[in-house]
Structure 1
């Protein structure tokens, strides 16, 4: 066999160095703006509860109410699967995991609401409620048994529009100061800024958090926040440019996620109340813009909610369950892995949809990932980007409890660290 011959080149070594020098600024900008997945667990939902209706027992109460609804309207795996149209093979494992989740950690993300769900109140009343919210969050974080507290929890303040700006800032201040006095800010703390219309409002939120950090000797950047996309101006600016990316940029690294606001956004677009829904075309457009703007930035996405509640007679509960289940499934297929839940009765179908989604895709994802790692692709030739998506699917399934580490390891031959590496995530923490 002939020896390898030297290859001929034209470019001088200085050419490569010059290209690196010319692109150094771009390299730094890419690293800053597009750091990739943060590698932390994303909750599958956010539960919003008005500030005057929440206490440290709220997560457990929601779980108990959800279990009562299951017992009353779908008492066994076959009945629940029949309502939702789950295949027989998934009926028992999904039902078992749903009940275990509701018994152990029913709420993954709790947001104490001082905006639309709370409404305008006298200042002394909202002050007292904000202080009570701080004590509630501190108590949950301090006293909950390991693995039972929400993954995230915090408040949604009023927005920074002129009419309610002072009240929103004061509620934020009372809440954060109360937490600081109660022992410090919990690691799972989340703040939500609603009804953003201009990037300058995001910048103003950043300045508020910077001031709080300085006053309490906290590390710069300790406080992040979610941006709710629920105004038309947050998607398309007055000059015709897309504005979501500008808001992420204005957050200066503090934006943790973008949450779609179903009803405010739909109403702003002129959609009638009967047709305001997660699957309306105006919702799909807004969420597609959000998705592109957030891609690669480490900012996560959350879908909105349905206001059809599973209450009343069994037939009505079943109809509401089917609607919610199908909407959650639709969001998952569109890479919206989180959404809002407005009622305890939404929890069974939230977890059923999530668990079925990850379990039904587990074996195929694992087989393709194992083939990719072994470079024996079978009838599918996957690329690194697809391997990231496959490992991401399994990791999200593991995070939420849909999958077990042992069964994933058996199917893939990989550890959690291996999956993290393929997904481009930092090591799990």
Structure 2
């Protein structure tokens, strides 16, 4: 056949076959869209800070930032000393250190939860009522004054019988207080702890539906995180993944799955000395959480370390190395969020996060440019990889590891371009013939 001659095309199937197959798969198409809507495309905080309800004040966020800066001043007063503690390369030392200090001055906390569960404990009802009302007032004022973290809310007590009524009342007082102060903030975040059965998630949905009706809010306005702290929340008695049931029971309201390092470890009988987020039991739980949440729009968060960076410099450095290593390990496993329990954890949280995004920045940018322009190179990327590359850059921008100007210089792409790659249409993720 000569060059330019049109190829003869022949088919064997009747035209109705495709139509019949599409009709038969229509319920599956609808189910895919409902159960797996994809990532919500909004910012995910790099951490969650928990502060007991009686300890939370209007100055908590600034205090955490100031304490973290003081820890740097005392134990790593310059980029070289900080890099030496954490093993950062020479080329990353100054950019990371400078960004960490700037972050602690500008936005020390990305996500804060006022805790009415384990960190608060049982209190007289009047005392918890007052603390919940105060939390609502302070959070509303913080958003009004521009001093709030991007995400703020409470962790209530769980849905187990001994504390159920108390948890419901605290949630009601808190949300009612926010409404009275002007409405629910965009960054509202609620955490339901110690979930063991999907029915407890259903109960939480019922609570939120009733609150929305009472205040004329759109159905589904209030979402919540599910905290995974028990073996029953991972595997049911029949061997199925309970956490997957929980996501579906939330009816689209679940925003995150948060791993609880110490409760979960204790539930499995792990001795106290070995309870950590890198224990094999933790890896198993988080892997199931990750697979269950994939494609649903629910994000997965790692847990915390209880080794605090306090005391003499040698002790602080040891704790920093541990926390930095655990954070980097989590990032490599696509757990982009974790818990921080002490202001001294903030320097190493941000150092690990910033180094993670900066050290891979040039390669990610080059690969995304090659994909965008269908250029050559030694890696042939698919749409799903372009999604991951742009998501990587966006997360780096959101937390402050990267600047929009340097990303634009390296890629020639705008933030809107990156968001287009990061949240593609479902059809764009199908395997294409090349």
Aligning the two structures, in what range does the TM-score lie when normalised by the shorter sequence?
A: over 0.9
Q: Distance in 2 between matches of 1:207 and 1:70?
A: 46
User: Which deviates more, 42-51 or 380-389?
Assistant: 380-389
Partner of 1:61: 63
Could you tell me which runs of 5 or more consecutive residues in structure 1 were left unpaired when the two chains were aligned: none
Partner of 2:428: none
Q: CA deviation at 1:47?
A: 0.2
8 Å contact 1:38–1:425 — kept in the other structure?
A: no
Q: Distance in 2 between matches of 1:175 and 1:374?
A: 50
Give the alignment partner of residue 88 of structure 1, picking from 84, 87, 90.
90
8 Å contact 2:41–2:422 — kept in the other structure?
A: no
Secondary structure of the structure 2 residue equivalent to 1:111:
strand
What's the CA shift string for 1:151-187, capped at 9, x where partnerless?
1000000000001101010100111111111111111
What's the CA shift string for 1:37-80, capped at 9, x where partnerless?
11100000000000000012100000000000000000001111
8 Å contact 1:359–1:402 — kept in the other structure?
A: yes
8 Å contact 1:261–1:304 — kept in the other structure?
A: yes
Partner of 2:378: 379
Q: CA deviation at 1:345?
A: 0.2
Q: CA deviation at 1:29?
A: 0.7
8 Å contact 1:231–1:268 — kept in the other structure?
A: yes
What's the CA shift string for 1:72-119, capped at 9, x where partnerless?
000001111111000000000100100000001100000000000000
Secondary structure of the structure 2 residue equivalent to 1:187:
coil
8 Å contact 1:388–1:424 — kept in the other structure?
A: yes
C-alpha RMSD of the superposition: 1.0
8 Å contact 1:51–1:130 — kept in the other structure?
A: yes
Q: Distance in 1 between matches of 2:120 and 2:300?
A: 24
Taking structure 1 as reference, are residues 188 and 2 closer, same or farther at Cα in structure 2, changes over 3 Å only? Answer: closer
Give the alignment partner of residue 108 of structure 1, picking from 74, 99, 110.
110
Q: Distance in 2 between matches of 1:86 and 1:258?
A: 31
Q: CA deviation at 1:376?
A: 2.3
What's the CA shift string for 1:224-244, capped at 9, x where partnerless?
000001110000011111111
Q: Distance in 2 between matches of 1:213 and 1:280?
A: 41
Partner of 1:159: 158
Q: Distance in 2 between matches of 1:129 and 1:23?
A: 52
Residues 93-242 of structure 1 correspond to what in structure 2 (within 5 A)?
93-144=95-146, 149-242=148-241
Q: CA deviation at 1:291?
A: 0.3
8 Å contact 1:262–1:305 — kept in the other structure?
A: yes
The TM-score normalised by the length of structure 1 is: 0.97
Q: CA deviation at 1:5?
A: 2.8
Size of the aligned set, in residue pairs, is: 423
Q: Distance in 2 between matches of 1:199 and 1:30?
A: 21
Q: CA deviation at 1:425?
A: 5.6
Partner of 2:317: 318
8 Å contact 2:115–2:155 — kept in the other structure?
A: yes
Partner of 2:405: 406
Could you tell me which runs of 5 or more consecutive residues in structure 2 were left unpaired when the two chains were aligned: 426-434
What's the CA shift string for 1:297-331, capped at 9, x where partnerless?
10001100000000000000000000000000000
Residue 12 of structure 2 is aligned to residue 13 of structure 1: no
Would you identify which runs of 4 or more consecutive aligned residues in structure 1 move more than 6 Å?
none
Q: Distance in 2 between matches of 1:189 and 1:7?
A: 57
